[in-house]
A and B are shown apart, each in its own frame.
Chain A
Amino acid sequence: ETGVTQTPRHLVMGMTNKKSLKCEQHLGHNAMYWYKQSAKKPLELMFVYSLEERVENNSVPSRFSPECPNSSHLFLHLHTLQPEDSALYLCASSQDRGTGELFFGEGSRLTVL
Chain B
Amino acid sequence: QQQVKQSPQSLIVQKGGIPIINCAYENTAFDYFPWYQQFPGKGPALLIAIRPDVSEKKEGRFTISFNKSAKQFSLHIMDSQPGDSATYFCAATFYSGGYQKVTFGIGTKLQVIP
- Interfacial residues, chain A to chain B (CB-CB below 8 A): 4, 6, 30-31, 33, 40-43, 45, 48, 50-51, 55-56, 90, 92, 94, 96-97, 99-107
- Measured as residues with beta carbon below 8 angstroms from the partner, the interface class of chain B is 20 to 34
- Interfacial residues, chain B to chain A (CB-CB below 8 A): 4, 9, 31-32, 34, 36, 41-46, 49, 89, 93-95, 97-100, 102-107
Known A-B contacts A40-B106, A42-B107; the reply to A97 vs B95 at CB < 8 A is yes
Q: Whole-angstrom distance between the alpha carbons of A89 and B104 in the complex?
A: 15
Known A-B contacts A31-B98, A48-B99, A94-B100; the reply to A100 vs B49 at CB < 8 A is yes
Chain B interface mostly helix, strand, loop or mixed? strand
Instruction: Tell me the total A-B contact number using a CB cutoff of 8 A.
Output: 69
- Give the distance to chain A from B45, nearest Cβ to Cβ, in Å: 7
Question: Do B32 and A100 touch (CB < 8 A)?
Answer: yes
Q: Which of A50, A94, A96, A104 contacts B45 (CB 8 A)?
A: A104
Q: Whole-angstrom distance between the alpha carbons of A42 and B4 in the complex?
A: 9
Q: Whole-angstrom distance between the alpha carbons of A40 and B18 in the complex?
A: 24
Pairs A–B under 8 Å by Cβ, sample size 15: A31-B99, A33-B99, A42-B105, A43-B89, A50-B97, A55-B97, A56-B97, A90-B44, A92-B43, A94-B99, A100-B31, A100-B32, A100-B49, A104-B36, A105-B43
- Give the distance to chain B from A106, nearest Cβ to Cβ, in Å: 5
Interface centre among A33, A42, A90, A104, by most chain B C-beta atoms within 10 angstroms, is: A42
A contact residues around B49 at 8 Å (CB)? 99-101
A contact residues around B93 at 8 Å (CB)? 100
Q: Which of A4, A42, A48, A55 contacts B104 (CB 8 A)?
A: A42
With both beta carbons as reference points, the residue of chain B lying nearest to A42 in the complex is identified as B104
Question: Do B95 and A104 touch (CB < 8 A)?
Answer: no
Question: Do A50 and B104 touch (CB < 8 A)?
Answer: no
